[in-house]
Chain A
Amino acid sequence: EVQLVESGGGLVQPGGSLRLSCVASGFTFSSYWMSWVRQAPGKGLEWVANIKEDGSEKYSVDSVKGRFTISRDNAKNSLYLQMNSLRAEDTAVYYCARGKSTSYWGQGTPVTVSS
Chain B
Amino acid sequence: DVVMTQSPLSLPVTLGQPASISCRSSQSLLHSDGNTYLNWFQQRPGQSPRRLIYKVSNGDSGVPDRFSGSGSGTDFTLKISRVEAEDVGVYYCMQGTHWPPFTFGQGTKLEIK
A→B interface (CB under 8 Å)? 35, 37, 44-47, 50, 59-62, 95, 100-108
Contacts and interface: CB of A to CB of B under 8 A. Distances in A.
Interface stretch (B14-22, B70-78, B81-89, B97-105): B97-105
Nearest to A49: B100
Given A45-B92, A100-B96, 18 more contacts: A37-B49, A44-B92, A44-B104, A44-B106, A45-B49, A45-B94, A45-B107, A47-B102, A47-B103, A59-B101, A61-B100, A95-B49, A100-B102, A102-B94, A105-B48, A105-B49, A105-B50, A108-B48
B103 to A, nearest CB: 7
Contacts of B39: 101-102
A72 B69 CA distance: 33
Interface size of B as a range? 20 to 34
B111 to A, nearest CB: 16
Nearest to B100: A59
23 contacts: A45-B92, A45-B94, A46-B104, A47-B99, A47-B100, A47-B102, A47-B103, A47-B104, A50-B102, A59-B100, A59-B101, A61-B101, A62-B101, A95-B48, A100-B96, A101-B37, A102-B51, A103-B54, A103-B60, A104-B51, A105-B48, A106-B48, A108-B48
